[in-house]
Structure formats: structure tokens, C-alpha cells
Amino acid sequence: MFSKNSFILALIIVLLLLFSCIGCEFRELGISSQESEPTDSEIMKTIISEELSGEELFLQLKSKQLDNNPLSDINVRKAIFHAIDRQRIVESLIGDFGEVVNSLFLEDSPYYHDAWSIYDHDKEKAAEYLEKAGYSKENPLYLTIGATNDSTSKLQVEEFIKEDLSEIGINIWFFNREPKEWYVDYLKNGEFELGIWALYSVDGRNLENYFSSDKIPPMESETNKNCDNFYWYDNQELEDLFNSFDYSREEATKIEVMAQIQEEIACSAFTLPLYRRLFCIVHDDAVSNIEIDKRMGNFLKNANEWSIKESSQEEDELEQVTVGYQYEPYTLNPLSQDTSHRDFILSLMTEGLWDIDDYGRYIPNLIRDDIEIEENDIKALLRARATLREGVYWEDGSEMNTDDIKDTIDYLVSTNSENISDKDYSIIKEIKIIDEYEFEIVFKEYRKDWQGLFDYIFPSKLIEEGNISNYLENDFYSHGPYKLSDWLKGDYMLFDKNYYSENDARIDQIKIVFNSDINYLIGFFKEGEIDVLNIPADMTLIEDLDSGENSSVIVEQGNLWEQLALSLKPKE
């Protein structure tokens, strides 16, 4: 049996044969030269004596590269993008349910623009770009790639990327970490080279947070939130395009500017969209009208429209649908740190005053259409007047009015909305009540997405009692189609039909049962104990469940898209 040193010696010999020619100078390998070059035998003796691991050996070879910032060369970036076979990744992971992403928007979006198709899979072209940067199979480049270590799909993508890049002369080492460590310690600090994570885009509203030079993480402050430019990308032309984009402008103008934004990002070659995350729901065929919201995969958003076949219900039996869910929220308080799982459940009980259409425009939801806007000469917003729709009721039967709106905003302004990372209530000077339904918003400063500040409204009586935060920890005062009737933590939530809701529900009750193990939930579904279940995008699982006698699977491509990201942060 080989000793540890014998194994390392054999490994070094193989590496030397692969990456170098015996006797050639280190500068020919892209490795920094020294005044007195060590011989190959001296290198092996040093490495063996240090008993280096595979990772240590890789990092030592990497540290000897002449350029600490190879990704600053756009030729390297383009070489990487052309080398990756994105079609193979899609076919292997999601088959016919997905496709290669070449735009930041879905094909049915008005902002869809085919900007990334310039990066076709072409190994020869990739090798040519890499050679322009001074690297090749004979003179390899060493890079690391990282992702969260809890995602099987990301780990598979890394393997594909490693194989593709090795064919042109880029050697890869995996640098995966626990989710919190990866996002907090590495992504936010730009401490990675290649990375894989998902971005969200539906109307372009958050693209500036991802790609603007004002949104590089160290710039984050109380007045500059959501600094998610983890690439450390800086481009003045893109800044000018962002500044020229306004959601209130004509649709044709917005479409043109959004196309230019995507062209600029694509040509800079620092993010390569791979595929869109799939949202998958399996349901009993007795339950119909289920839809998946493409924004974040919320399948509860239209729960008021679900229905049950009459033949599946006993006469006078209470209509109930049981939903399986892996992630139980620790709180229903929308002012706490944002989690999509909590927000899915909150969508059963609440609606905002405005919603967003496909063009990113805010459209009336709980208010009437005839809103009045007052701006100054430079189009800065001064005040807006709106009218609440009649017939919006709280769960106790009382009607929502402008007191509720004013007291909610006053409360959020006074608390500085400190827990809502993407909302700045300080831009509101005051809410003036005109009458029971009409109100006026007076602004301190302009913000183009101010309607998003009215996503949640709370009843005045709870705010006046001074216990709104404590109340929201375990409950929510509903004005939606359902109201929370029971919550046994660690087990289930029960929602009853809210008869005071204008958006009247068809199902009497929805029960959400929680279990962190998806395999248990799948077993419960197969046994008929669960009617609707959110499942992973596993092709074998989808085919198995969809072939069931009384079950169907719904699959949608969402607005979360996986990407290969490159860090442009300068390295010393």
C-alpha cells in the first residue's frame, strides 16, 4: 500500500507532466520567477516535506501566477463564458422543463431581450480568448468556484463548469461553504472568483441593486440599502442608462432602455445566466384552479380561486384543502427580516394598496384608479392623492378606512422601519386624511417606487393599543380571503374563510402542515393526507408523481435565475 508521501509524490509527478515541461522556466507557466529558480526535484522535496493537501497544492500553484487579478481581463471572462456548455447543464438538470437563459426576463415579459446568446458554446473561440490573455493548456490558469454546499443542483453545475473549463486550460477548485458563511463572509465581501447563486427579476426594479456601482456592499448605509452588487462592477455607461430609466415613461421607451441595459451587462461578461429555477407543485386532481406565481413561486396567492370537485366531498362536509410545507415561519410579522415562505402564507390574509404589472408599473389594487400626482419642475414627487376602495373589510367585519392607512404609515415612519431592508419610510412627510376613503401623501423627497411602502396596512385599533409588534409575532389581522384560526407551532396552521373579504374564497378551510423533511411530505401526499405540495425540481420525482392515478404536477419557470458570477473586486 502506498504511504502518504508516496501518494503525494505520484500526484506531483502527474501534475508536472500535465502542467509543465521538465526543465522549462516558471515564467513560461505563468508562475512568477525568482532570482534563483528551484529545480523540479527541489519543488517536490519541499511539497513532500510540507505534506500539502490537494487544496493546498492547488492554492500554492495558484499563488505563483503572475496576475492576481486575471478576471479583470475581459478576454479571460469571455473565454469562460464561451467554454461553458449551458445547454448540457439545462438538459442534465431540468430536461425539457427549462431552457438556456439569454435575457434577464421571461420570454413573455415586455422587457425580454436576447442579449446573452452571443456566448454560444465554442471551445475554439474560448481557447482563442484565453490565449489572448496569456493562458492555455500548457500554461494553465487556476481559479476557484464557490456556492452553498447544501444545493445538489449547484454542485452539479460546478462539476460541469469544471469539466468545460479544463478543456481550454483553466483548472478549477471548489470552494463551497455553508449558506450563511457563503453569503455573509464571501459574497458580500467580494471574496470569491467564480460563484453560483440566483437573482430575481420580474420588472427590472431591482437590477440597479445588483449592477449599479453605487450598490457595491461597502457603500450600504441607512440611506443606501440593498447593496447587492457582489461583482464589484463599475460602469458609467450603465449608470447613465439606469438614471434614464423611469417606470412612468412610455412603454416603448422603457423597453428600449431595458434592452440597452441588458446589452451593456452582457457585453461586460461578468454574469452568465444559466437557467431559470423551476417551481413545482403536485396536487390531488380533486383540487383545481391552482396557479404558481412566477415572481417567487407563490402557489398560495390565488388560493381563493381553488375549488374541490363535488364528488370528492360528502354532503354538508366542510371543504378543506391540506397543504404540505417544509418551511414553517417563525413569525408572521412582515416587519421582520423578509422571508418568501412567510410572505407566501401572508398572501392568504393581506393585499397591498398597489400591485405591480409586467412593465414594472404600480397598478391600483385596494384603491381606485383616479390617483392624482403633483410634481415640481424637475419631476420630483411632492404629493399624491388616492382614494381607498369601498368594501375592504377587516376580519372582524369593520371596514378599512384612511385612519388605518395614516396610523400604519405614522407607525412605520416613527419606528424608522428598521427591520424592512428595502423600504425607506422616511421619505414620507405625512399622510393627510381628506375623508373616510380619500387621503393625501406628502413627500420629503422623491422615490420612484413609493407605492411599495403601502404593501401592508394594519388596523388602527391595534396600533393605538401599542401592541402591534407583539401581536404580529403570532397572528395577523386579515383583510384577505382567509384569516388565521389556529397555529400549533411545529405542526400546522389552520385558516378559515374570511367572509368579510371582497375577494371571496371558494374553499372553507386551508390547513398547512409543516415538516422539514420533504420525503415525509411526499409520503403523506401519496397516502392521501396532503392535497397540495411544493416539491423540488427533480425530474425523476416529477415523472413519478405526475404518473399517479389521481395526481398532477404543475411546473413553471420562475423569475429566479441561476447564474455564474465573476468577482471583479481587485485582489492584492
C-alpha cell at 460: 388602527
Angstrom distance (rounded) from CA 110 to CA 359? 7
Cβ atoms of 479 and 353 within 8 Å: the answer is no
pLDDT at position 271: 98
- The CATH number of the domain covering residues in 287-530: 3.40.190.10
Cβ atoms of 204 and 245 within 8 Å: the answer is yes
Rg of the chain over Cα atoms, rounded to whole angstroms, equals: 28
What are the contacts of 267-270 at 24+ separation with CB within 8 A? Answer: 267/118, 268/74, 268/233, 268/235, 268/238, 269/74, 269/77, 269/78, 269/81, 269/119, 269/566, 270/77, 270/231, 270/233, 270/565, 270/566, 270/568
Angstrom distance (rounded) from CA 129 to CA 134? 9
pLDDT at position 272: 98
pLDDT in tens, the chain (572 residues): 444 444 454 455 445 444 444 333 333 333 333 344 444 445 444 544 455 567 888 888 888 888 899 999 999 999 999 999 999 999 999 988 999 999 999 888 889 999 999 999 999 999 999 999 999 999 999 999 999 998 889 999 999 999 999 999 999 999 999 998 999 999 999 999 999 999 988 778 789 999 999 999 999 987 788 899 999 999 999 999 998 887 767 888 889 999 999 999 999 999 999 999 999 999 999 999 999 988 778 999 899 999 998 765 555 566 999 999 998 988 888 877 655 568 899 999 999 999 887 667 788 999 998 778 777 655 567 888 999 999 999 999 999 999 999 999 999 888 765 555 567 888 899 999 999 999 999 998 877 778 989 999 999 988 888 777 777 877 888 999 999 999 999 999 999 999 887 778 899 999 999 999 999 999 999 999 999 999 998 889 999 999 988 999 999 988 889 999 999 999 87
Cβ atoms of 412 and 405 within 8 Å: the answer is no
Angstrom distance (rounded) from CA 496 to CA 331? 19
DSSP helix/strand/coil, 109: coil
C-alpha cell at 345: 402564507
What b/e readout covers 450-460, taking b as 16+ CB neighbours within 10 angstroms? Answer: bbbbbbbbbbb
Beta-bridge partners for 388: 367
State phi, psi for 123 to the nearest 5 degrees.
-65, -35
Which residues, in sequence order, are CB contacts of 393 under 8 Å at separation 6+? 399, 400, 479, 500, 501, 502
DSSP H helical segments within 420-570, as ranges? 460-465, 468-474, 518-526, 539-546
Angstrom distance (rounded) from CA 484 to CA 472? 12
CATH 3.40.190.10 positions along the chain are 287-530
DSSP helix/strand/coil, 63: helix
Q: Pairing mode, if any, of strands 271-284 and 551-566?
A: antiparallel
pLDDT at position 37: 46
The candidate with the shortest Cα–Cα distance to 211, out of 568, 571, 570, 572, is 568
Angstrom distance (rounded) from CA 248 to CA 527? 51
How many CB atoms neighbour CB 145 within 10 A?
A: 22
pLDDT at position 149: 92
Q: Helix crossing, 123-132 with 74-83: angle to 10°?
A: 160
Task: Classify 34 in phi/psi space as left (phi over 0), alpha (psi -120 to 50) or beta.
Answer: beta
CATH 3.10.105.10 positions along the chain are 70-277+560-566
> What is the CATH superfamily name and number for domain 70-277+560-566?
Dipeptide-binding Protein; Domain 3 (3.10.105.10)
Evaluated on CA atoms 34, 38, 39, 41, the torsion sign reads negative
pLDDT at position 53: 64
pLDDT at position 52: 54
Q: Helix crossing, 86-93 with 152-166: angle to 10°?
A: 150
DSSP helix/strand/coil, 261: helix
Cβ atoms of 65 and 30 within 8 Å: the answer is yes
Which amino acid, 247? Y
pLDDT at position 565: 98
Q: What's the DSSP call for residue 427?
A: G
DSSP helix/strand/coil, 56: helix
Cβ atoms of 325 and 299 within 8 Å: the answer is no
pLDDT at position 490: 93
pLDDT at position 376: 67
Our separate counts of H helices and E strands in the chain read 17, 18
State phi, psi for 564 to the nearest 5 degrees.
-100, 120
How many CB atoms neighbour CB 480 within 10 A?
A: 22
